[in-house]
Amino acid sequence: MKNLYYDVVIAGCGVAGLYTALKLPKTKKILMLSKEDFKSCDSMLAQGGICVLRDEADYASYFEDTMRAGHYENRRESVDIMIRASRGIISDLIRLGVRFARRPDGSLDYTREGAHSKPRICFHKDITGKEITTVLFSQAAKLPNVTMLEYTVMTDILVADGRCAGMIARTADGEMLHIHARDSVMATGGIGGLYEHSTNFPLLTGDACRIAERHGVALEHMDYVQIHPTCLYSTKPGRSFLISESARGEGAILLNHRGERFVNELLPRDVVTEAIRKEMAMEGVEHEWLSFEKVPKEIITKHFPNIYETCRKEGYDLFKEPIPIVPAQHYFMGGVHVDSNSETTMPHLYAVGETSCNGVHGKNRLASNSLLESLVFAERAAANIMMTQKGTRYDKSDYHAACC
């Protein structure tokens, strides 16, 4: 067993974990843990994009769209915080090097997804998550105060006097690390790895939730699991390939085996999922179809190159034929309960990203709010950590003895 000493330890290297690290002062000594390799995080898989408040006139409709999708079980304060912080987040991502799609005049291009009353989603082709995560990772990797460890999994937290005092982790070779830290951030993603059919990486198994429960840290809405309506149907084992909701936002339509439309494709995800499952049961089939016949070829080529190529490899040509789709587990709206600063019910323990439940999404997440929510509340976690550590310096002697 090895003892390590840091100002902040972060479990998870997706956008939430990375942005937390980037928003902390460069004077803080930070350790980041990745359960497997750095690329195996769900942030890399986000296709559609990231929402943004286009202007003040858009506020009311954006707020209502988010609340309606969440069945009005959203925490209103969190929704307001997210929306009002969105333009600053987008500006910061651009400053860091994220290449969002642009119109001919140089302004941001926007796409639309289900349950949005208007286009307000910034995107990079159909690999927005990969673009943002790659940029954030490259920026964090440059920082001399940040250490990153691959194949190192958080197995528990350290607790002293009722507060979190760090983490326990296991390396690939089985060595146990006791990481003593003033503040700890859990950014380990969702629970998709527990499902037979999921768009998530198999490594996402709710680690943070189990550890939080073990220590009496509050959890919230653990039954709020979102199913994505359109994943490429396949009999092959492994992760399901997502067909972005923005495909339907750009005109792709759902068809049954008789070639008939059976649902408004731009309704909230849970409604569309229910309609697909109902149609499948009525027809006695294992999938339905998604047709790109109404989507201009140029849009397919420029906006959905990854989807086009993946489908082509599976034997389907988007230009010529519909593709088979089926719903699959996609996102976890519940998780470790946090306040508006992303702090859990245990002092000095934070949760961000899909690991956390700050109430933004309610019972059902509005499309493309996930990346935005992760970044907004990661920034708030970092700001709160700075406040609690203000005026302090890293000193090994300051850490209290902790036990798990």
Percent of the chain with pLDDT over 90: 90
- The answer to whether residues 288 and 325 touch, using CB atoms and an 8 Å cutoff, is yes
Rounded CA separation 114/264 (Å): 9
pLDDT over 80 at 187, yes or no: yes
pLDDT confidence of 340, banded at 50, 70, 90? very high
| Mean pLDDT, range 201-214, rounded to an integer | 96
Res 403 pLDDT > 80: no
Nearest to 42 by CA among 179, 229, 260, 242: 242
Rounded Cα gap, residues 141 and 147, in angstroms: 8
Mean pLDDT of the chain: 94
User: Which domain, by its residues, includes 172?
Assistant: 2-223+333-398
Residue 273 falls inside a structural domain: yes
Same domain, 293 and 319: yes
- The domain total for the chain is 2
pLDDT value, residue 107: 97
Q: Are residues 216 and 257 in the same domain?
A: no
Task: Identify which of 106, 109, 128, 132 has the alpha carbon closest to the alpha carbon of residue 120.
Answer: 109
Domain boundary among 308, 329, 350: 329
Q: Give the DSSP letter string of 208-237.
A: HHHHHHHTT--EE-TT-EEEEEEEE--SSS
The encoded tokens of residue 393 equal 């310096």
- 329, 358, 380 - which closes a domain: 329
Identified catalytic residue from 54, 75, 112, 269:
269
Give the domain CATH number at 258: 3.90.700.10
pLDDT given at position 393: 46
Residue 404 has pLDDT above 60, yes or no: no
Is 393 a residue of the active site? no
* Percent residues over pLDDT 70 in the chain: 97
pLDDT of 317 reads 97
Q: Report the predicted TM-score, pTM, of the whole model to 2 decimal places.
A: 0.90
Q: What is the pLDDT of residue 48?
A: 84
Q: With 90 as the cut, is the pLDDT of residue 45 above it?
A: no
92-110 average pLDDT score: 97
Domain with 352 in it: what CATH number?
A: 3.50.50.60
Q: Answer yes or no: is 404 within a domain.
A: no
pLDDT at residue 389, as a whole number: 87
Tokens encoding 318: 């988007």
Residues 95 and 121 in one domain: yes
Domain contains 403: no
Last residue within a domain, chosen from 277, 312, 329? 329
**pLDDT value at position 329?**
94
